[in-house]
Chain A
Amino acid sequence: MIEAYLRSDGRKGIRNVVAVAYLVECAHHVARRIVDKADDPDVHLVGFPGCFPNAYAAKVMRAIATHPNVGGMVLVSLGCESFDREGLRDAVEASGRPVELLIIQEEGGTAATIDRGLAAVERVRAAAAETPRVPMRVDELVIGTICGGSDGTSGITANPAVGRAFDRLVAEAATCIFEETGELIGCEAIMADRAVTPELGRELEACVEKAERYYTTMGFGSFAPGNAEGGLTTLEEKSMGAYSKSGSSPISGIVKPGDVPPSGGLYLLDVVPDGEPRFGFPNISDNAEIVELIACGAHLTLFTTGRGSAISPVIKICANPETARRLAADMDIDAGRILEGAATLDEVGEEIYAKVLAIASGDRTVSEELGHQEFILTYKAFEPIGPSCLPLAAGRPA
């Protein structure tokens, strides 16, 4: 039984985080000092570095600030930046959460704002602690998945094991989200065959084609030197391994960062911006995609080899038995045992499923224990999703 935090919009969270958000890089130091001084694993640092406005960043920040795992917010503004701080504060307030806004240029500078910020964290934390606890079912969970630092073992062990866990979660009506269309290049046709409608299948192919155009313009595919050292030679080879995280359930729809899937099922998160390439790489590192999964409502994220991120716990599943030994203190699950014949894909899939329930019930992931809270949000541009992207949502109660 998962004991969740009930938010006033009816959504349920598995953590009760107080997030301190800087609204421009100039406020980052003050926000970081507030979080450092609070010295609480459930006080997290999030933020947006840019001074120019961006609709995507505003949407993602609003989704983060009203995420079911968030109990309250402290916003730190320098004062002169473009970010709509009052709009964000009002959205958090409207969601029924405690929120405080500090403006460094009005509070009297760095030291004064750090002191007041720390006091604000205390008040917000106390208010958030009053959040009612309620039971939560598996079908109310939203689970994301991403891979990082993939090698030739990822597509054989950890990724398909996550796919098995996803199949079971989807069968139990949970919401599962896979992502990174730039790492699905080469899989578009087989993926389209799993769409619940032919129109959605065409949209799935179109978003991978968009990713290929975008990355080609950038000059690099989503392929790191470490991938090659680990035995992967090409982007499409990496894609085939990454794709196996999605399991074998039908694909119910496509969402974009900040869209919460309308119901249980398997969804693709399209992370590649729309229109002419602007602002640089779609995601400058994996952490940016975890932030986007969280913005889509993910309560926790299954990360096959990797690190961690703020707000949503990250369960790290190691694909390579050698890495599992070398970085044992960083991993939640050793899927490398599959390679050595010590466990089957089904067994590790079940282990991941059981770990999801344990973490949702309040157990800490290794990355939470280690204090990993990477958070990156940069500039992007998106069009709203098209009418074919959520075919099952029509006629459903909101």
Chain B
Amino acid sequence: MIDPKLILLHEDDNVLVSVAPIAAGDSLAFDGLELCAGEDVGVGHKIARRMLRPGGKIFKYGAPIGSATREIALGEWVHSHNMQSDYIPSHSRKTGEEGHTR
């Protein structure tokens, strides 16, 4: 049973993908659990399906897509604030500005 706002792309994945906007406080159900969204999560963004440890691999499509940079709680939004690439770091619109380091 999975919440209609979420999809699981591969059974080995430790993240779910939102297919409808999620607002803070919305209840989210998956894997027999029911929890409350701690923040707004946009369409196409990821939510932790498991508790993730720092350095642990994030799996989506059944493939590793990067590593957690800190502990991530069950149901938490997973994005650049708590995970990073294992290849080339992502950049922002501020990255090219003078004095700014990645």
Contact = CB atoms under 8 A, between A and B. Distances in A.
Interface of A: 151-156, 185-187, 190, 212, 215-216, 220-221, 223, 225, 227-228, 230-237, 240-241, 244, 320-322, 339-340
Nearest to B84: A234
Greatest chain B CB density within 10 A among A221, A234, A240 is at A234
Interface in B42-62: 42-46, 60-61
B65 A320 contact: no
Contacts of A190: 63
B100 interface: no
A152 B46 contact: yes
Contact of A233 (B9, B63, B65): B65
B83 A234 contact: yes
Contact of B87 (A185, A225, A339, A340): A185
Secondary structure call for the B interface: loop
A211 to B, nearest CB: 10
Greatest chain A CB density within 10 A among B7, B60, B88 is at B88
13 contacts: A151-B44, A156-B7, A186-B63, A221-B87, A227-B90, A228-B92, A232-B44, A233-B78, A234-B83, A234-B84, A235-B85, A236-B66, A320-B44
B4 to A, nearest CB: 8
Nearest to B89: A221
Greatest chain A CB density within 10 A among B64, B80, B85 is at B85
Interface of B: 7, 9, 17-19, 42-46, 60-61, 63-66, 78-80, 83-93, 95
A321 B43 CA distance: 10
Given A156-B17, A190-B63, A228-B92, A233 B80 contact: yes
Contacts of B90: 221, 223, 227-228, 233-235
Contacts of A221: 85, 87-91
A152 B21 CA distance: 12
A280 to B, nearest CB: 14
Contacts of B63: 186-187, 190, 236, 240
Contacts of B7: 156
Given A216-B88, A233-B78, A339 B83 contact: no
A153 B84 CA distance: 19
A237 B66 contact: yes
B43 A153 contact: yes
B91 A225 contact: yes
A200 B65 CA distance: 25
Nearest to A319: B44
A220 B85 CA distance: 12
A152 B17 contact: yes
Greatest chain B CB density within 10 A among A185, A216, A240 is at A240
Contact of A231 (B42, B85, B92): B42
Contact of A153 (B44, B78, B87): B44
A236 B88 CA distance: 9
Nearest to A187: B63
A153 to B, nearest CB: 5
A244 B88 CA distance: 21
